[in-house]
Chain A
Amino acid sequence: MSRWFWWFLLAPQTYLAAGLAQDMGLPTFEIGAALCLYLGWFARRSALPWLLLGCAISRALVDEASLPVQILVLGIPVCVLLPLRTLFVAQRWLWQAAFAVLLAYGIPWLAGTFGRLFQEPSLGAQLHGWPVVWSAVFVPPLVWLLRHIPPFVGFTEPEPVFGGTRR
């Protein structure tokens, strides 16, 4: 129960924390890509709906569109990534970087599409070049960090062991 309390207390501040880092000089990157990769490849499946809600609340704090749009914008990539969990056993950072680039394009595209469909425009729908590059650089180490810090560590699925190899 306490892990849920800490999740809904701290997870919604994720986007604000990323914004604070950017204000302090860190390059702008798509934090949603890190969240989607964590949820799609490392989080406990049974907890996914509520974990997604916490991440969507976080995006709703910094984006003009409403909360259900944020649920769709982050949830659809998670649904796409989830079946790939069984394929990428070792979860190499190269794969994470590649998908971070795809997500850095996909999340703004989804935000723009749903914004047009439901008349909920958002600043997050604008695509810029450099954040895509920085996403490939920063998202893999950030995902590793998220897996080891609270409140994310409480919802990380134990890694499978294959023939003695463990990452």
Chain B
Amino acid sequence: MARKSAAFPVGLYGMLLFALSWLTLPMLFAPLERWLVGSACLLPRLASSWLGEPAKAESKAALQLISKMGVELQQRVQDQAFVGTGFFAQAAAAAEAAGAAASAHEQEAADALLMELAQSQQVLCTVRSVRRRGGGGAPSELLLEQTYLELVGCKRLVTKGSALVGFLLQPGQPGAARDSWHDPARIMLANHRYAPRLFAALELRDRERLRFVVRPASIADPAPLVVDLWDEPYRAARLRKGGEPVRTLALGENGVPTGLLLGRTLVWGYESESRDAPALPIGVFLEPAVAAEALSHVVLWRPLQPVEPPPGARQAMREGPTGRQARVRAQRVSATTFELPGVSHGRHLLVTPAAVPDGAAVVQDGLFLGSASGLRFGASLMTSFGTSQRPWSLLFLPRHPGAEPVELRARVEATSAPRDSERGLVRLRWQGPREGQSPVRGRGDLFTGSNGAFCPAGLWIGRASADDYESDLMHVELPGSRGPRHVEVFVAVEEDR
């Protein structure tokens, strides 16, 4: 007689439930994971001592080339960020098109705002990370490398080229109530819950303008922004086709000038049963001109005439950072990588005594190798760029001198693992570029964008070329080498002020 066994193992189901709880509270259980997986790395770490001497850096010529490319990238990013403010011309065109439709008061307000910006200094800021889901389920906040104190006096307006990005928050305001002046500055995007309503206009085919108010959409909506109020609802009801550019109007007191590109329309509604009858639009949404996850740099505006800082900022300047406010910066420390068996996995053992934060970049003299996951017992795990499946913020620098760097959001689709001295080839599927940017064409170099506090922009990945047939595909050639290597990894260091 077959023994009937209980097929309901409570312990096993309890372990699965524990794993689900772990996933909902990752920060709480992160130390447990570091201990468990770190202890499993002890044997490979012991075996690594038989793997030979780690290779040092690339040749001097290669190092100089990587360094030179990094400098060129930074220069071109600055040039394009500061030069691409074509919205001044757009604003003039918009003002002319408005003509008699705009009241004298509106025209005066628009001109005053543009005059203020024209007399301001542009400040290029680096994006550290994106966060907080907002309208449309898209990120609604940017965290900058610069602190609020370093940006004192800057206007709220944040732009990128001729597109509106969002608004600079201030400590104590809604959205940054708990921030201090020494914390990294935060920017709320247009789809943030506390973002102001924006006035915008859409140019129709008959060259008439349809004006409306835009507000942040809800998380479940199909796009980050939604049109709230129309000045001519009956004309708006005849909109069928989306994809039309929408530009801001300087009508409110939110400090947004006329002419900034806000996004493109997305008409949402019921499709008609017959091809002859028009569809029924229910709402009009806006896809932002700027993809937040792809952003590496933004532009803030500081008036040339100094502005009196707020009382909180003056106090913060006097007192300096204390305790929790001590600034943490990323610093490179030496480490050694060893390949783990199974080269197709692209996983490496990273040995360093420093505490490695999750997502830290691993570099070898400017060459980006991959990102690390910190563990215990002096070990971490690194996933090479070519095998990582996480989405990356990247910068593509075309070979053509003076061409604009292109910000992308990409994911590795397929890779051939590098063996011996052969180069690894990676296929990237990317999104972007943002509105107004040049499309990705031809050949160039690929760099990291902003992928967190410990994976800064500007690390060289490899040579890249756009695919000839698929417009959103790119081929990247990774410098390949096997065996242990001396590398550097970004770790957190407290700055003494």
A residues adjacent to B (C-beta < 8 A): 8-9, 12-13, 15-20, 22-23, 28, 45-46, 48-49, 52-53, 57-58, 60-64, 66-69, 71-72, 75-76, 78-79, 82-83, 85-86, 89, 115, 118, 121-123, 125-126, 160, 162
Q: Among residues 293 to 349 in chain B, which have CB atoms less than 8 Å away from a CB atom of chain A? A: 340-347
B389 at the interface (CB under 8 A from A): yes
**Residue from A20, A45, A68, A122 in contact with B23 in the complex, judged by beta carbons closer than 8 Å:** A68
Q: How far is the CA of A28 from the CA of B341 in the complex (A)?
A: 13
Interface string of B400-422 (1 = CB under 8 A from A): 00000000000100000000000
Expressed in whole angstroms, the minimum distance between the Cβ of A89 and any Cβ of chain B is 6
Could you say which residues of chain A place their CB within 8 Å of the CB of B282?
none
Q: Can you offer 17 A-B residue contacts whose CB atoms are under 8 A?
A: A12-B40, A23-B343, A45-B5, A48-B12, A52-B12, A57-B40, A61-B41, A61-B340, A68-B29, A71-B22, A75-B19, A79-B9, A82-B12, A85-B5, A86-B4, A115-B389, A121-B411
Contact (Cβ within 8 A) B7 A83: yes
- The reply to whether A22 and B342 form a contact with Cβ atoms under 8 Å apart is yes
A118 touches B23 (CB 8 A): yes
Q: Which segment, of B71-79, B110-118, B124-132, B380-388, faces chain A?
A: B380-388
B35 to chain A, nearest CB (A): 10
Number of cross-chain contacts by CB at 8 Å: 137
Residues in A with CB closer than 8 Å to B20 are 68, 72
Candidate in B7, B20, B342 with the most chain A CB atoms within 10 angstroms: B342
On chain A, the residues within 8 Å of B36 by CB distance are 53, 57, 67
B426 to chain A, nearest CB (A): 12
Q: Scoring B residues 266 to 305 as 1 if CB is less than 8 Å from chain A, else 0, what string do you get?
A: 0000000000000000000000000000000000000000
Chain B window 21-47, contacts with chain A (Cβ cutoff 8 Å), 1 for yes, 0 for no: 011001001000100110111011000
Query: Are the C-beta atoms of B342 and A125 separated by less than 8 Å?
Result: no
B11 within 8 A of A: yes
Determine whether B51 belongs to the interface, using a CB cutoff of 8 Å to chain A: no
CB-based contact B389/A68 at 8 Å: no
Query: A17 to B341, Cβ gap below 8 A?
Result: yes
Least CB distance from B130 to A in Å reads 13
B15 touches A52 (CB 8 A): yes
Output the nearest chain A residue to B358 by Cβ-Cβ distance: A66
B2 touches A160 (CB 8 A): yes
User: In whole Å, how far is A43's beta carbon from the nearest beta carbon of chain B?
Assistant: 10
Q: Within the assembled complex, what's the spacing in Å between the Cα atoms of A161 and B384?
A: 50
Shortest Cβ distance from residue A115 to the other chain B in the assembled complex, whole angstroms? 7
B469 on the A face (CB < 8 A): no
Q: Is the CB of A69 within 8 A of B5?
A: no
B5, B347, B373, B389: which contacts A86 (Cβ < 8 A)? B5
Tell me whether B342 and A53 are in contact (CB under 8 A).
no
CB-CB nearest in chain A for B346: A123
| B13 CB–A CB distance under 8 Å | yes
Known: A49-B14, A75-B12, A85-B7. A63 touches B342 (CB 8 A): no
